Amino acid sequence: PPPTSSTVVPPSLPPYFIKGSIIQLADGELKRVEDLKTEDFIQSAEISSELKIDSSTVERIEGSHTSPNFAVVQFSVGEHRAQVSVEVLVEYPFFVFGQGWSSCCPDRTTQLLELPCTKLSVGDVCISLTLKNLR
């Protein structure tokens, strides 16, 4: 069976997901969070000496046992298809390849952050990061 790990994201929304937040790409360019494109992440990772983009496919989304405000999203990460589950607030946005920001509850994301967002679904391929030369 593939290795499994689990990550818990802190129970608050980071400020950089609020619409209008200024994000610096690896080449120094500044963009608003709502204007980011898939290519911005890919190009930034290419410049980075430590980080590389991995594809993380959503395999399962279920409610958290801890709180109704949380969801557990299970990803299959990278070429090794390692199973990683992440417990996040339902409004926590992930960036889906070719699509943009998506969350388990896009209505809440739009309400709380004003960040345009679509519904995160099983089969979506999200952008995630791993270390280069990790072995």
Partner 1 sequence: VPVFPWHSLVPFLAPTQSD
The site for partner 1 (CB under 8 A) is made up of 2-3, 5, 7, 9, 14-17, 21-26, 30, 33, 36, 40-41, 44, 48, 51, 53-54, 56, 75, 77-78, 80, 82-84, 86, 94-95, 126-131, 134-135
Shortest Å distance, C-beta 12 to partner 1? 14
Q: Are 88 and 70 in contact (CB under 8 A)?
A: yes
CA neighbor of 135 nearest in space, from 87, 91, 78: 78
Q: How far is CA 125 from the centre of its chain?
A: 10
Kind of pairing between the strands at 94-96 and 100-103 = antiparallel
Instruction: Give the residue with the Cβ less far from partner 1, 7 or 121.
Output: 7
Shortest Å distance, C-beta 107 to partner 1? 21
Shortest Å distance, C-beta 127 to partner 1? 6
Instruction: Give the residue with the Cβ less far from partner 1, 39 or 68.
Output: 39
Taking the C-alpha atoms of residue 101 and residue 95, their distance in angstroms, rounded to an integer, is: 5
Instruction: Give the residue with the Cβ less far from partner 1, 64 or 83.
Output: 83
Instruction: Tell me 108's DSSP state.
Output: H
- Return phi, psi of residue 32, to 5°: -75, 150
